[in-house]
Structure 1
């Protein structure tokens, strides 16, 4: 394969010129890896390209809406015009997985799977070439490698939660995890087998623990919140510990971010206006990848393309289900983050105006929210409860509830359920619900707006993970397919 010698420029070019400019270049233009990554500028170009591809993979429609759609926070809007006006059908690129019936041969998620391992390969290339740079300081090299290693861990983690059953699926996490790549394809084509879930999480954690001490100063141009830093890497580590049910480390890591990151919760009086800002994330953001823009500053894509509302004939595919919208008290500020609009919908064969709740979190030029401080409070609360610190857990939940102007808890009875409920309300449309349900061995129950052939699913189920695309299992004889696929 030519990949052992060359790498196409498409994943690097965005730091130098717009996508439209690149498309005008001579077809098939390639650059030698050795040539590109021989100096600091080339490596920084590669790192910029790595972030570009990572942003596209997580903000892409498939992954960005997956957890909320499968968990029941999201339903579909009616067709806006044409002969099918008013009809409600699943998005074509998600129809299979929406019914918990994705197919290995034509997987809705193949681009996500392939994109994730492409990102991992690119991160490994940067990790392999950076130590030999002669025009970068040791501090710069450490920072570059810390970011690349964190991205490698993040990409593996996302693949793990989509393609491997939750960590406690087996008592010792001996069930199948994922392939964990620590070498680029340039070092030779390999055919690795999947690790166990226990080993997978151990490798993710090891990468993060190696990366975090090496963070220093930003080496890329642009807003700091767009790139991994010491504390956004720790936020990722806290999430990994949560998913693993490693409560002691989840508590300590989330507490570290809350206490030492310098980021503060958005105050109550600013909560609604912060989400309404154009181009900028909420102030409590730990990591939000910058959205793509061309050379004239025009936005290429954003979360608004899925959730946005412009007019009665111009709106996104996804709105809040009543399953989530009805959870909020009337006094809850977060209830005001729904934009209610009537849309023409076929009801018993007649077009009728029906109200739909669009989320205001992702209007205008909204980016993909990777990590924000509210999640750290919710992780600390859950971990505190699981380590016999119920008073701290209740205090953290009440911090979030007080900010939302909703009733405070006065008892630790049913505190676990209240924590999960608060996670659903606070983090809705940010990609958590389905994974929260599965790691807590909960059943799936989708009611309002569910047009799936499977609106409910009982834990455990082989359908709670997706099939590895057939192309990949055919290419790698050691890559074992998930059960039932």
Structure 2
């Protein structure tokens, strides 16, 4: 059985076409020998070839969200994470900021040499791959209409999801200014095969409309299952596409649609919340995600089953002489009640730390969510309950909001809410505790117009960030603006 993320070397050469915003000049594409372009046409002219292309696109997406920059961004910036001491060398026992995130961590990223340049480029590379698939799929001579629609649906949601992630990083949250004038991102719906264009950034309103349009178009095309080989939870389908749509509506502050869509997933997905008695053990199991996962991008493996990379590369603990960079801050750990079973998801280990020139064993808490080569957990059912709760709160349905929060708290054996007082604070607290290390906190704070306050383990001169601030978003890499003068830079960069 083929690895559903494994693509041939030939395909990698064919498909790595950078869009207008990529690291190299896009004129490179036009200068390719005709044979390269012919290979693309040949690759995408059969069902087998286009499925290989779709397979590779999932692989590119997985690699992009698994990359250290994005994988830790929301929790690191929001205050859920701190750093471990260096294991060996001259700086043994010292705690330092990872060099590849130093500027971002300090809210001082630079447009000229952004820490997130790779994420920006690879996101648009994924988008270009989906556009190529969408441009060729209807002409397939050996695929049925149902198969073509399924391929189209998955490509559309990948395109929407990639644009959505870019929006989180590069556009201020709704409410910062008028969304009709606020900058969104460039929404790319055509591949480079049609030639080079120099688009402007859409408004935030238009950006969200285009994301929603792509997801809804996908929902009109999904069939029962993916045509790709691999775990079903690793591919987009009608259920997790709706879950993504609920998240997008929440980000857009479209409370009515957020409520209705989350409610639909909760009632009709066929997936249930993992019960209390299985919650810890399911997070601890190897190679299989927690059962309530609606979408997890599985890790790449070679033909022998060897792992090509996972989030344990950043969060893993193997021994006190072999561990990785990121652990839970006390800012997060102190939020859990003593009865809360989620406290059991932290692996406390004493590590030698240099303090005032002396090595001292200091306890650090690694997350059990991300040990043993985990995949990237993109969407869980728990999040849908919290989306429905937030939408209900904004719609004035306080009892429903309270009940949904209590559903998550009851499963964790935390104290239940007895009144509807301070529900916004309770909701943000529950999202932080339940969804920690899954890429939400910083975006939640921005979305709710809240300031950042990092205390335990903060090494930056800027441990706090008051809302509103231009530093809630990152700069468009300068090289891309140099290439396309129609791109407008974010404020303060």
> Normalised by the shorter chain, which TM-score bucket?
over 0.9
Moved more, 468-477 or 165-174: 165-174
What is the match of residue 163 of structure 2?
156
Partner residue of 2:318? Answer: 310
TM-score by length of 1: 0.94
Q: How does 1:254-273 map to 2 (within 5 A)?
A: 254-273=262-281
The CA distance in 1 between the partners of 2:371 and 2:487, in whole Å, is 40
Who is 2:21 aligned against?
A: none
- Which one of 6, 24, 32 corresponds to residue 14 of structure 1? 6
2:295 and 2:8 mapped to 1: Cα distance? 23
Deviation at 1:16, TM superposition (A): 4.3
In structure 2, what is the equivalent of residue 4 of structure 1? Answer: none
- Is 1:140 the counterpart of 2:147? The answer is yes
The alignment status of 1:43 with 2:43, answered yes or no, reads no
Report what 2:297 is aligned to.
289
Please tell me whether the aligned partners of residues 445 and 451 of structure 2 are also in contact (alpha carbons under 8 angstroms): yes
Once the two structures are superposed, residues 369-393 of structure 1 have per-residue CA deviations (whole angstroms, 9 ceiling, x without a partner) of 0001000000001111111211111
| Contact 2:114-2:475 at 8 Å conserved across structures | yes
Structure 2 stretches of 5 or more lacking a match? 15-32
Change (3 A) 1:183 1:322: same
Q: Which among 129, 133, 137 is matched to residue 130 of structure 1?
A: 137
Q: Compared with structure 1, are the counterparts of its residues 13 and 265 closer, same or farther at alpha carbon in structure 2 (3 Å cutoff)?
A: closer
Tell me whether 1:446 sits opposite 2:454 in the alignment: yes
Q: How does 1:2-401 map to 2 (within 5 A)?
A: 14-16=6-8, 30=36, 32-216=39-223, 217-401=225-409
**Tell me, what secondary structure is at the counterpart of 1:274?**
helix
Match of 2:30 in 1: none
CA distance, structure 1, for counterparts of residue 135 and residue 474 of structure 2: 31
* Cα deviation digits, residues 354-379 of structure 1 (max 9, x gap): 00010000000111000010000000
The offset of 1:167, in angstroms, is 1.6
TM-score by length of 2: 0.93
Distance 1:154 1:370 in 2: 10
Q: String of CA shifts for 1:387-412, please: whole Å, max 9, x gaps.
A: 12111111111110010011111100
SS at match of 1:15: coil
**CA–CA separation in structure 2 for the residues paired with 1:209 and 1:89:** 45
Are the aligned partners of 2:247 and 2:258 in contact in 1 as well (CA < 8 Å)?
yes
Give me the whole-angstrom Cα distance separating, in 1, the residues matched to 2:451 and 2:119.
Answer: 25
Q: How has the CA–CA distance of structure 1 residues 34 and 294 changed in structure 2, closer, same or farther, with 3 Å as cutoff?
A: same
Separation in 1 of the partners of 2:294 and 2:332?
25
Q: Is the 8 A contact 2:179 2:203 kept in 1?
A: no
Contact 2:160 2:214 survives alignment (8 Å): yes
Per-residue deviation, 1:222: 0.6
Render the CA deviation track for 1:434-480: whole Å, top value 9, x for unaligned: 00000111011000000011000111111111011111111111111
Q: Give the one of 460, 477, 482 matched to 1:469.
A: 477
How large is the RMSD of aligned CA atoms in angstroms? 1.8
> Once the 2 structures are TM-superposed, how far is the Cα of residue 144 of structure 1 from its aligned partner?
0.3
The residue that corresponds to 2:29 in the other structure is none
- In the TM superposition, residue 172 of structure 1 has moved relative to its aligned partner by 3.9
**Post-superposition CA distance 1:53-91 (Å, at most 9, x none):** 000000110000000000000001110111100111111
Q: CA contact under 8 A between 1:18 and 1:295: conserved in structure 2? A: no
**Structure 1 runs (4+) greater than 3 angstroms displaced:** 15-20, 28-31
Report the Cα distance in structure 1 between the residues aligned to 2:128 and 2:69, rounded to whole angstroms: 21
Q: Count residues in correspondence.
A: 469
SS of corresponding position for 2:100: coil
Question: Alpha carbons of 1:19 and 1:199: their partners in 2 closer, same or farther (altered >3 Å)?
Answer: closer
CA contact (8 A) 1:40 1:135 kept: yes
Q: Deviations over 1:242-291 (max 9, x none)?
A: 11111000000001111111111001000000000101100001000110
In 2, Cα distance between equivalents of 1:77 and 1:242: 34
- Per-residue deviation, 1:173: 4.0
